[in-house]
Structure 1
Amino acid sequence: MKARRAGQSRPLMSSTGLSRIIYKPPPLTSAQKVRRARAWAESDVVSRLVTARTHNVGRHRAYPLDAIAAGIFLHALSSPTAFTLAGVTRTLLSASPSDRFALGFPPRTVIRYRPILSGFHALEDALGVGFLVPHDHELTADPETGEVDECPEGCPFAPASLDEVATGLVQASIPSTWTPPSVVAIDGTDVESAYRARTANTGTDAGDRPAADPDARWAKRTGTDRRPNELYFGYEAHIATYAPEPAGEPLPQLAAGLAMRPGVKDRAGAALGILDALRHVKEVLLDRGYTTSRAEKLARPLRERGIAVTMDLHSTQRGVRPGPITGSLWIDGALYSDALPDPLRQLEPPKIGDTATQKARARELFDKREAYRFTALARRRDELGSQRWKGPALAGHLRCPNTPASMRLGRHLPTAQCLRGGNCACGKTVTVRDTDLERDRQPLPWQSTRWALSFNRRSLIEGLNAQLRYQVRNVNRGYFRVAGLVATTLLMAVTLAAHNIERLRGWHLARHQPDPWQVKLGEEPSDEPMDRHTWTKGRRRPYRG
């Protein structure tokens, strides 16, 4: 048999090109799980949580708090059918004494449920309060009013929100040897509470008692081929995943950040919470569930952070509107000259059920708009809150009789039907304020081919949610059996972190590349054979419930 060269990738598609080959690596050994769980528990964010709940006075805990955190992560790596604290206790009981010692438990420790529950509540309390970046100076206060004086310039003090800590727990599962890209896609998935909702009215009837999960709320989830549109009682987990460049190399589907919200609320705030925690993001891919928020809640904060957005447009965001100067039009969030032919002004986007050929033909019409679109003249002027744009004839994309230089361009360019001497905007420059139609604007024109190649990367987050809900794990009702937003956030963050470790390993081993955690922990490269199966994309049947 011919030996495989080092670094040579396994085939990812079948010989017919119709089926994708899925490789399944051998499961992690107990020693590998323990080392990864301990490494995660020793990360900076977990260490801060442990320090926040470690007291120097009073009775000592039965088990160290960092060991409990490592034990919870070890249980998540075991791919449980339900993520419960009783399951964590059973996982630690089934571990060998040497593994428990490696996790941080003292020798000859008897594992009991109550100390594990107490440790989880301690981590939950620290997560709910959030750790603080400490001051680098002594605090002073006014002796009369008691008000603390302002910090000197350069003080690093900053509180950490729940979104920042949850994202930090997820990021702790990605080793520093793996360089993340600067593009993320964010989407929400419902996390149903395991507890039954009751009315908030107080009375003698048991059915009128408040819900056992006080933070959960009623919300509506979109129907799929598995279920119709319906209401659920619980939370929405806003998850971010990394996305490659439109024509870049593929990436493993990793969770980059997490923000939990009760029911369906504050979607824009959840997205901003994740982006603020990641800090290095330059572009975000969002659907209409986020971008229909008011401009001051999402579009403006993204612009102030220097983050570009690629988004789909709601029907209320589309249409033709007057432009900032005579002869210009806002069409589907982009600025065009009114020389744009009438048949190209009102275009219908491709439908979900259309074939690839039908979608390509529909986008050819959107691409024809490009010759009439205004383009940026220079970088945005932050101090003035505006941007200079130049007309299509001035940019050399269109031939216009009112711009003589453009008529000397090649005849491969379209010619505007403007009257000579008329008041057209093809050869003009215009200053556009940042607040002009700021909710609907994006760098790429909507439904163009370039936009489609960029926005289609958002399917990566939908694939990640499908893996968490159905394919790899079962994060549905009953998977988490804890009450409260903070407790659910903690278990969800641990689940995403464990999923990242497994995905990193499987993705790299399928390509004959070393697992980043193997490199970080100094383990020997894996040479075990991988199981494989094929997956063929087919048309799903609609729900007929």
Structure 2
Amino acid sequence: MVEGTWYCPSQPQPLIDSTKDLYAERIDRETWTRRIEARKPYRLMPKENEDIDGYQRVMCPAVAGKVQCPLKPSSLGRGIHLPLVDPEPSPTGPVTVCRQRSVTIAPTAGAKHWQALEYGDEEWQKVYFRLRNSVEGYNGYAKNPLAEAIEASGSRRIRGIAAQTILLVFQLAHANRRKIKNWVETLALNGERPRRRTHHRRRTKPLGNWTPTGYLAPTG
């Protein structure tokens, strides 16, 4: 498993270390994006949907026609457009997924790090960035010093994690109520004009240009 997704055990090391190299500034963001895209052929492909207990059968990418591998001779000679896997010799022989056409993955295997979307690809960026924007936006809303001011510890003068948590819940509930009230006041109810004007949306950058260390530089 690499960053939440099951891949061929012989995936090239530079692809495995893509995000690590980005944070260490050994590669730039454009290179990171290309490496994330280059990972896709090495992903273990679903053969069946998950059963009622969460077990799922997945195929070796060579069997699925995504890569070529000498351990699966039938996958060779399919064209230079398919990556050629270079399995590392082992005294114990290939791992199970390399000896078989498919394997069953239990729901507990890698459950702590598993992600439904492939890390870093365009779909992941859109979902993650939208959720992150929502969370950070709400944090800023609730930290308003003229309203709930949840960042100010002086507004909760009591000891203990449990007590602090209960008081914070009341503050967040009040922030929710304030947000709903502000939204209702932008509606035209009973034929009357809304009491509050809606905010104009500010221009945003394309979600597909986002990386863990910032946006890609514009091209062209």
**TM-based fold match above 0.5:** yes
Q: Following the alignment from structure 1 to structure 2, what is the Cα–Cα distance between the partners of residues 430 and 453?
A: 31
Counterpart pick for 2:106 among 433, 456, 466: 433
Structure 1 residue matching 2:48: 3-state secondary structure: coil
**Counterpart in 1 of 2:216?**
none
**Counterpart in 2 of 1:341?**
12
Q: Following the alignment from structure 2 to structure 1, what is the Cα–Cα distance between the partners of residues 136 and 169?
A: 20
In structure 1, the gaps of 5 or more residues are: 1-329, 507-514, 538-545
Match runs of 1:277-296 below 5 Å: none
Match runs of 1:85-104 below 5 Å: none
Contact 1:364 1:448 in 2 (8 A): no
Q: Following the alignment from structure 1 to structure 2, what is the Cα–Cα distance between the partners of residues 415 and 504?
A: 59
Contact 1:364 1:449 in 2 (8 A): no
Residue 405 of structure 1, CA deviation = 5.0
Residue 466 of structure 1, CA deviation = 1.0
Contact 1:482 1:488 in 2 (8 A): no
**Counterpart in 1 of 2:141?**
467
Letter in 1 for 2:50: R
**Counterpart in 1 of 2:3?**
332
TM-score (norm 1): 0.29
**Counterpart in 2 of 1:416?**
85
Q: Following the alignment from structure 2 to structure 1, what is the Cα–Cα distance between the partners of residues 61 and 202?
A: 49
- Please say if 1:368 is aligned against 2:42: no
Higher strand residue share? 1
Aligned length: 190
**Counterpart in 2 of 1:494?**
174
**Counterpart in 2 of 1:377?**
47
Contact 2:68 2:84 in 1 (8 A): yes
Contact 1:391 1:428 in 2 (8 A): yes
Letter in 2 for 1:490: F
Match runs of 1:167-206 below 5 Å: none
- From the superposition, tell whether residues 450 and 405 of structure 1 become closer, same or farther in structure 2 (CA, over 3 Å): farther
Q: Deviations over 1:457-480 (max 9, x none)?
A: 222211121122138845143885
Residue 455 of structure 1, CA deviation = 1.8
Letter in 1 for 2:124: W
Supply the RMSD in Å over aligned alpha carbons.
4.1
Contact 2:59 2:103 in 1 (8 A): yes
Contact 2:46 2:58 in 1 (8 A): yes
- From the superposition, tell whether residues 456 and 400 of structure 1 become closer, same or farther in structure 2 (CA, over 3 Å): same
Letter in 1 for 2:127: S
**Counterpart in 1 of 2:126?**
453
- From the superposition, tell whether residues 488 and 439 of structure 1 become closer, same or farther in structure 2 (CA, over 3 Å): closer
**Counterpart in 1 of 2:208?**
none
Letter in 2 for 1:334: T
- From the superposition, tell whether residues 489 and 453 of structure 1 become closer, same or farther in structure 2 (CA, over 3 Å): closer
Structure 2 residue matching 1:430: 3-state secondary structure: strand
Residue 505 of structure 1, CA deviation = 5.4
- From the superposition, tell whether residues 479 and 397 of structure 1 become closer, same or farther in structure 2 (CA, over 3 Å): same
Letter in 2 for 1:522: N
Contact 1:480 1:488 in 2 (8 A): no
Work out which of the two has the higher radius of gyration on C-alpha atoms and give 1 or 2: 1
TM-score (norm 2): 0.64
